[in-house]
Structure 1
Amino acid sequence: MFGLILKTFEYLTPLSTLTYLSSKLTDAPMGGFTQWLIRRFISTYKINVEECENTDLKSYKTFNDFFIRKLKPEARPIADSSTCIAVSPVDGTVGQAEDIKAGRLIQAKGIDYSLNALVGGRKEDADLFDNGRFACIYLSPANYHRIHMPMNGKLLRTIHIPGRHFPVGKRNVSHMDDLFTKNERLVCIFQTERGPMAVIMVGAALVGSIGTVWDGTVVRRSGIEVKDYSQENLMFERGAEIGHFKFGSTVITLWPKSLGDLELYMKNGAKVQMGQSMIGNAKLADANFKD
């Protein structure tokens, strides 16, 4: 019953309009008011300003300039490739991380959703990850909001799927069916030396925009858009920045089972940081130890 009430309320609430207005406000330079907002945000969410590449708060002209702040390279060390296959693409909290079973991903206890729908409905894309593994990581407003590569790879294509902007916090994840296939998202498919990998950037309420380093801010539209980058040789190293969110949201990573096993700590509720090992390799670690 609670799920039905929540769904009805949020369908009737103009979240996309509120998201649009929020993006305009947070992208506007407002002088002293912007500085007040930034300082209140730092205080409320206990942001460690010393991690920022630019610690001069007065140089941030808009709230979003600070929200998508870059960090010093040493603030997020990248796990050693000798014992790690892939790293977390973001800072956040693990929602679910496990096997994809019969084309379904777990959203929460008693709720799952379709792999095919998640990637935009194209069978050839879904087949790459069927019976593979996934990790869903939620970014709260307090988190660092730039998105990085889990492992070395070449961008093959992106699929932009327009949708709603429902909140993606724990309450909605636990009660709203198919949440991640209802919201706007950008599916980025890469080829790695170990096979295909997808990084999916899921929008949510008040997410002003999704941006990528190769194509700028994603333009919201009414239909699904597939862009082919396979001939452009867009190569990204593990840990390289590939995009950002202007406010909290979720990143879902997909890979075939042959790529490797999830680290044991990748459980519901675990806190992770960008660069931390997400897919370990026990054989590599054992070989290193013996050497």
Structure 2
Amino acid sequence: MTFTTALLKVVQFITPFTTLTSLSAKLTDVPMGKFTQFLIRNFIKTFNINMEEIANKDILSYKTFNEFFIRKLSEGERPIDTEALAVSPVDGTIGQAGAIKNGLLIQAKGLDYSLKALVGGDKADSNFFEDGNFACIYLSPSNYHRIHMPIDGTLVKTIHVPGELFPVGTRNISNTKNLYTRNERLVCIFQTQIGHIAVVMVGAALVGSISTTWDGTVVRRKGIEVKDYSKENLRYKKGDEIGYFKYGSTVIVLWEKDGGVLPLDVEPGLAVKMGRSLIMEDAAESSKDNIKHSDTDDMNN
């Protein structure tokens, strides 16, 4: 067990999640000289970070842990699938994906959660996605943590929903009822060629903050905050960066009924990279995409 792993286990055991997250946010944004470098090097070792894909490989240039954690990748490291209607906005692992039925999304076997609650409780917002589809992607600490646009679109509104900061690992997903509607989240709704799409950035234990390119760091508050961007013409292209997490969490993508289908290989446990297909036009294209990714995986193994 490395120093990083041991420290996380001890601190999580003795500290409430909200206090732990606040402490984490402060410590990881403070320059601590050699100790910062020690933490970064230990983090790289603990989570087997691929340094070859990072734009800035000079460890000494990162003054805080979070500067390294939200590191950028070298150009071309995440090619964007131009044939897909929409792509994965993040690196991570598929938790669940599929149809939204009767206003419910699957959290885990035997556990569902409310679409309306997820987007903040306004029926007008949840109506966009009734009988539509979703994909839930979990980001582990080892993943690249910047969030990108799944499809060309214009920002319509954001809804910041305050909440708890429960961990979003496999154990909690399988045992904590309504996990995603209890945790803090930022719902970002865009207008696109396939209708409305929502990119829901879900906070969790140790997530120091959620940031967006249009509004900076989200300020934690007690009440729901809705911001209307419909008149500001904030357009983003597929693959454009739209935000980042400071530490691991989850992104849930929602899209409208008849807005496209999931590729056949998208299922729980699948590791995905930002830029790979997430929404295809029809089943035939989905099947071809599945074969294409299988061939690529075979070449890489």
TM-score, scaled to structure 1: 0.92
**Equivalent position of 2:55 in the other structure:** 53
Match of 1:252 in 2: 252
Number of the residue aligned with 2:204: 204
Aligned to 2:3: none
Q: Which residue number in structure 1 is paired with residue 79 of structure 2?
A: 77
User: 1:16 and 2:18 equivalent?
Assistant: yes
Cα pair 2:194 2:256 within 8 Å, conserved: no
1:120-135 matches, cutoff 5 A: 120-135=120-135
Q: Give the partner amino acid of 2:53.
A: E
Q: Return the offset for 1:257.
A: 2.3
Residue aligning to 1:7: none
Aligned partner of 1:222 in structure 2 is: 222
Per the alignment, in what secondary structure is the counterpart of residue 227 of structure 1?
Answer: strand
Counterpart of 2:76 in 1: which secondary structure?
Answer: helix
Residue 143 of structure 1: aligned partner: 143
**Does residue 1:152 correspond to 2:138, yes or no?**
no
Which amino acid counterpart does residue 154 of structure 2 have in structure 1? K
Offset at residue 281 of structure 1 (A): 2.8
Paired residues of 2:261 and 2:283 also in contact (CA < 8 A): no
Q: Structure 1 CA distance, aligned partners of 2:242 and 2:219? A: 17
| 2:32 partner letter | M
| Aligned equivalents of 1:13, 1:105: Cα separation in 2 | 31
Question: What is the Cα deviation at residue 282 of structure 1?
Answer: 4.5
- Decide whether aligned partners of structure 1 residues 13 and 45 sit closer, same or farther in structure 2, where only a CA change above 3 A counts: closer
RMSD, matched Cα: 1.6
Structure 2 equivalent of residue 3 of structure 1: none
The 3-state SS of whatever aligns with 1:20 is helix
Which structure has more relative contact order (CA 8 Å, sep 6+)? It is 1
Q: How many positions carry a matched residue from both structures?
A: 275
Q: Helix, strand or coil: the match of 1:39? A: helix
Q: CA deviation at 1:73?
A: 2.1
Shift of 1:50: 1.5
- For residues 198 and 168 of structure 1, the distance between their equivalents in structure 2, rounded to whole angstroms, comes to 20
Give the aligned residue type for 1:36: F
Structure 2 gap ranges (5+): 1-11, 289-301
> Could you tell me which residue of structure 1 aligns to residue 98 of structure 2?
98
- 1:59-110 alpha-carbon deviations (Å, 9 max, x no partner): 1100000000000121111012xx2100000000000000000000000000
Query: Which residue number in structure 1 is paired with residue 267 of structure 2?
Result: 267
Give CA-to-partner distance per residue, 1:122-152, whole Å, 9 cap, x none. 0000000011000000000000000000000
Shift of 1:285: 5.0
* C-alpha separation in 1, matches of 2:208 and 2:223: 19
Distance 1:275 1:199 in 2: 15
Q: What CA deviation, in whole Å up to 9, does each residue of 1:15-66 have, x standing for no partner?
A: 1111000000000000100001000001111111111111111111000000
Question: Equivalences for 1:163-178 in 2 at 5 Å?
Answer: 163-178=163-178
**How far apart are residue 13 of structure 1 and its match?**
6.0
2:258 alignment partner, SS class = helix
Task: Give 2:4's aligned residue.
Answer: none
Identify the residue that residue 46 of structure 2 maps to in structure 1. 44
> 2 CA distance for matches of 1:182 and 1:26?
25
Q: What do residues 258-277 of structure 1 show as CA deviations (whole Å, max 9, x unaligned)?
A: 11010111100000000001
Q: Which amino acid aligns with 1:199?
A: V
- Distance in 2 separating the partners of 1:206 and 1:153: 30
CA distance 1:99–1:196, shift in 2 (3 Å): same
| CA–CA separation in structure 1 for the residues paired with 2:285 and 2:270 | 23
After TM superposition, which residue ranges in structure 1, 4 or more long, deviate above 3 angstroms? 282-286
Residue 28 (structure 2) aligns with = 26
Indicate how the Cα distance of structure 1 residues 152 and 22 shifts in structure 2: closer, same or farther if over 3 A, else same.
same
Give the % identical residues. 64
Instruction: Indicate conservation of the 8 Å contact 2:36/2:65, yes or no.
Output: yes
Q: Which residue of 1 aligns with 2:68?
A: 66
Query: Which one-letter code corresponds to 1:218 in the other structure?
Result: V
Alpha-carbon distance in 2 for matches of 1:23, 1:241? 22
> How far apart, in 2, do the equivalents of 1:22 and 1:265 lie?
36
